[in-house]
């Protein structure tokens, strides 16, 4: 059973400057709900109650969001507006929220390693909240937890991307096990299309077994000085212990302006309800 979900939220979000100068990218709202709340809701729906955040400087709005705001709540108490807080209240009442800080932004792999003290020696989920995943039925993480129960190894979520976009993603190749499921054999970070082993791109949902921490500790920083999560997962894949899962649902890359606007329009049209 996967109990904990790790949210690396320490990045600078430079693609959204100046909006992200003093506000975390993960607090940008898709219509009326911050990206990070969509992520926590997905983890909760997948059965997780321990939410662990790797934060950084200037990210205080995140712990404030997952806390009670007494003044505001007293002010709107008894009015229709209270309904707007039902979703976040449910999370606050049912989950615990723990935080640690990444002091230097040395990449996603380093952020995950920083989260070790919050996770301990157990398999855990990771959500990159700027990848917003929407589904008709079970959430993407829920789908992945079911696979973990079957395979008991690390799971990465993948989707097909146009070949010319491979240089924006970690790209896998592997052996098909059955529909939508591959055993990962190789994984390359941001390859040019000519070097890409496929067009199957890893997106921001993972289930990782705890040996990833030791691997990350021994992973050398890449050319840009960052510790790449891809390199650590590749080490697991070489032992045959990584599954790639082509999930059911739709992903919006809200870390880019185009994806953010697309998600906003989609949610406004399909999910938003005026109160």
List of residues contacting ligand UTP (CB under 6 A)? 8-15, 25, 54, 102, 105-108, 110-111, 128, 130, 255
Alpha-carbon distance of 272 to 275, in angstroms, equals 10
Contact predicate 266/252, CB 8 Å: yes
Q: Which is nearer to ligand UTP, 2 or 54 (CB)?
A: 54
Measured from the CB atom, is 182 or 260 closer to ligand UTP?
A: 260
In the complex with ligand UTP, which residue's Cβ is closer, 13 or 34?
A: 13
Distance CA 183, CA 169 (A): 18
Min dist. Cβ of residue 237 to ligand UTP (A):
20
Q: Across-strand partners of 197?
A: none
Q: How far is the CB of 19 from ligand UTP (least distance, A)?
A: 11
Closest CB 226 distance from ligand UTP, rounded Å: 7
Least distance from C-beta 78 to ligand UTP, angstroms?
38
HSE of 42, CA atoms in CB hemisphere, 13 A: 33
Closest residue by beta carbon to ligand UTP: 11
Q: Cβ neighbours of residue 57 under 8 Å, at least 6 residues apart?
A: 101
Q: Smaller CB distance to ligand UTP: residue 85 or 259? A: 259
- Angle between helices 35-45 and 86-94 in degrees, nearest 10: 50
- State whether residue 218 is helix, strand or coil: coil
Least separation in angstroms between residue 105's CB and ligand UTP is 3
Kindly tell me which of 25 and 205 has the beta carbon lying closer to ligand UTP: 25
The residue behind tokens 């790797």 is 54
């Amino acid at each position: 059973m996967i109990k904990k979900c790790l949210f690396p939220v320490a990045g600078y979000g430079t693609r959204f400057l100046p909006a992200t100068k003093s506000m975390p990218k993960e607090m940008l709202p898709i219509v009326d709900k911050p990206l990070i709340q969509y992520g926590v809701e997905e983890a909760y729906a997948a059965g997780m109650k321990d939410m662990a955040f790797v934060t950084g400087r200037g990210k205080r709005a995140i712990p404030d969001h997952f806390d009670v705001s007494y003044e505001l709540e007293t002010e709107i108490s008894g009015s229709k507006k209270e309904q707007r807080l039902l979703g976040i209240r449910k999370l606050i009442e049912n989950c615990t929220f723990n935080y640690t800080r990444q002091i230097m932004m040395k990449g996603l792999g380093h952020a995950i390693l920083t989260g070790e003290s919050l996770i301990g020696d157990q398999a855990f989920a990771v959500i990159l909240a700027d990848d917003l995943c929407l589904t008709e039925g079970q959430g993407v993480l829920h789908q992945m937890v079911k696979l973990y129960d079957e395979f008991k190894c690390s799971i990465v979520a993948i989707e097909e991307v146009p070949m010319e976009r491979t240089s924006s993603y970690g790209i896998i190749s592997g052996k098909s096990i059955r529909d939508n499921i591959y055993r990962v054999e190789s994984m390359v970070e941001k390859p040019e299309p000519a070097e890409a082993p496929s067009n199957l791109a890893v997106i921001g949902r993972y289930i990782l077994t705890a040996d990833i921490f030791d691997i990350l500790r021994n992973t050398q920083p890449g050319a840009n000085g960052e510790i790449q999560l891809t390199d650590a997962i590749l080490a697991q894949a070489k032992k045959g212990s990584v599954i790639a899962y082509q999930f059911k649902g739709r992903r919006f890359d809200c870390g880019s302006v185009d994806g953010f606007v697309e998600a906003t329009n989609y949610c406004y049209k399909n999910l938003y309800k005026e109160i």
